[in-house]
Amino acid sequence: MEKLLLVDGHSFIFSSPTWRKEYLQNGRKVRQEVVRSLQCYHDAGNEKVVVVFDGKGHVHRAEQAEKNGILIMYSKGGATADSVLERLAGRYGAQDEVTIASNDRLVLDTCAAHGAIGISIKGLQERIDRATQNFRSDWKIQSSPE
């Protein structure tokens, strides 16, 4: 059984007033910041991480790409990130330990019906902060001279 974290990328962006404002000016840069934040979480733990962004209205060279262990996906035209998250939860929710991070209650409820655990973006941010703090504490203990 694998641990899998599925993240609604735009919920993550729009949960931060700073990122929300920056997104209007440079969406690509903000998406990279989201991936960087999730990369730290991935590196500190043992969960596979997938972040899904709405692809409509954007031209992307690839529908998905993997960057340092994070799978980055964009929905196809006519689909939403929500539908991709729900489909992934349906595919993996019964066999793996799947957590969905979104601020969309309907998405969380639908994914829970497939056996996934739903958390808010605030809950995800708390997990990221805790994992980063634990990683730093462990690193400090391991790297301190004896």
pLDDT of residue 104: 94
pTM for the structure as a whole: 0.84
- For residue 78, what are its two tokens? 């006519």
pLDDT of residue 142: 57
Domain with 17 in it: what CATH number? 3.40.50
pLDDT of residue 95: 87
pLDDT of residue 4: 93
pLDDT one digit per residue (tens) for the chain, 146 residues: 889 999 999 999 999 999 989 998 999 899 999 998 898 888 877 789 999 998 865 544 444 556 667 899 988 877 889 999 999 999 998 889 999 999 999 999 999 999 999 999 999 999 998 888 887 777 665 555 55
The DSSP symbol for 76 reads: P
Which residue segment(s) compose the domain that 115 sits in? Answer: 3-143
pLDDT of residue 63: 45
Query: Domains in the chain: how many in total?
Result: 1
Tell me how far CA of residue 87 lies from CA of 106, 145, 146, in angstroms.
14, 49, 51
pLDDT of residue 29: 93
The answer to whether 53 and 31 have CB atoms below 8 angstroms apart is yes
pLDDT of residue 67: 64
pLDDT of residue 61: 43
